[in-house]
Amino acid sequence: MRWTSRLVCAVRDPSRASPVASEAADSAESGRGLFLVESFSDCWGWHPSPVLSTESTPGTAAARGKVVWALFRLADPV
């Protein structure tokens, strides 16, 4: 989504664990995504997902997962 002079990229993740950017071992097949986002974005963050779970106790609703977002500054048009 473009927002003024920035691009906002957001993804929903079913895990409730806080995201942590870290370097993966050279032989690892995963674990580099957030490290790359941190390297290339101007900033990033996360918040609990606004999507409500239907698996909660009847009459209640619980947030499920999280949304991880990143902001990228766009170049000014010449």
Evaluate whether 53 touches 62 at the Cβ level (below 8 Å): yes
Evaluate whether 6 touches 72 at the Cβ level (below 8 Å): yes
DSSP 32: -
More confident of the two residues 46 and 49: 46
Domain-wise residue ranges, the chain: 2-21+31-73
Does residue 47 register a pLDDT over 60? yes
pLDDT at 77: 66
Does residue 9 register a pLDDT over 90? yes
Instruction: Give the count of alpha carbons within 13 A of 3, CB side only.
Output: 8
- The DSSP H or E segment spanning 45 is strand 43-48
Beta-carbon contacts of residue 3 (< 8 Å; ≥ 6 apart) = none
